[in-house]
Amino acid sequence: MEPVPEDWQRALAIVAHPDDLEYGGSTAVARWTAQGKEVAEVLATRGEAGIDSMDPAEVARIRSAEQVEAARCVGVDTVEFLDLPDGTLEYGLPLRRRLTEVIRRHRPEVVISVNFRETFPGGFFNMADHRVLGLAVVDAIRDAANRWVFRDLGLEPWQGVRFALMGGSPQPTHYVDVTGHLEAGIASLRAHKIYFDNLGQDFDPEAMLTGFAAPVGREVGVEYAMPFELIAT
């Protein structure tokens, strides 16, 4: 794996649910905001279908607040929600249009998103929202650059996205050295406390993220690193 290029200033993270970014992506974000880079977060849903024992409206309120706190832990102040339905995201022109609007409005140089491959590392099948959202993000980067696509948005095209970084991919190509920033990433994952408390199983954010970052770090010659699939755009 090669290091992720860092000669850029502005990034946009687009994920499906609250907590999607926190399984490694937000740890990298902590490094970048510490460098003075600008990072904003956009979530397609509020994760309202994520707690079986609670009413979706209450879950949406709780998980939205937890995401805002998770973002704060890694130096991100801007968190937006598209209020699309959790669990039933559909790939197609409506989703691509919404994401094109977001990209043209934020004008990022780098886009961070979720794994759209069929599986996670280890062979576990990826969920539909992740697969749909991740693929739509990559397509929307190209849509956002084409002035003749989604002209009704009334926004200038944005051709400045250099690459997309997909977290949790089974095909990682690049890494981010997160040595010195792992604690911030752990804090961001811990911010989803009510969500994890209601999953009915013990969960240790520190063990999980350290377990992700330490082996990758050893592979690339640093203490801790997070892997990404880099897609050139």
Angle at 71 between CA 224 and CA 77, to 5 degrees: 125
**What's this model's pTM, rounded to 2 decimal places?**
0.95
Reported as a pLDDT band with limits 50, 70 and 90, residue 122 is: confident
Question: In the predicted model, is pLDDT for residue 142 greater than 80?
Answer: yes
- Read off the DSSP letter of residue 119: B
3-class DSSP assignment, residue 198? coil
pLDDT at 199: 82
pLDDT at 219: 97
pLDDT at 47: 95
Q: How remote is the C-alpha of 22 from its chain's centroid?
A: 8
How many CB atoms within 10 Å of residue 125?
9
pLDDT at 201: 74
Question: In the predicted model, is pLDDT for residue 226 greater than 90?
Answer: yes
pLDDT at 136: 98
Among 138, 158, 175, residue whose Cα is nearest residue 5: 175
Yes or no: say if 63 and 71 are a contact pair by the CB < 8 Å rule.
no
Mean pLDDT of 171-194: 97
pLDDT at 7: 97
Question: In the predicted model, is pLDDT for residue 116 greater than 90?
Answer: yes
Reported as a pLDDT band with limits 50, 70 and 90, residue 109 is: very high
Residue-wise pLDDT tens digits, 32-86: 999 999 999 999 999 999 999 999 999 999 999 999 999 999 999 999 999 999 9
Question: In the predicted model, is pLDDT for residue 200 greater than 80?
Answer: no
39: Cβ–Cβ under 8 A, 6 or more apart, which residues?
10, 11, 12, 13, 29, 32, 33, 75, 76, 112
Q: Do strands 225-232 and 110-114 pair parallel, antiparallel, or not at all (unpaired)?
A: unpaired
Mean pLDDT of the chain: 96
Reported as a pLDDT band with limits 50, 70 and 90, residue 96 is: very high
Q: Structural domains in the chain?
A: 2-232 (3.40.50.10320)
Yes or no: say if 230 and 174 are a contact pair by the CB < 8 Å rule.
yes
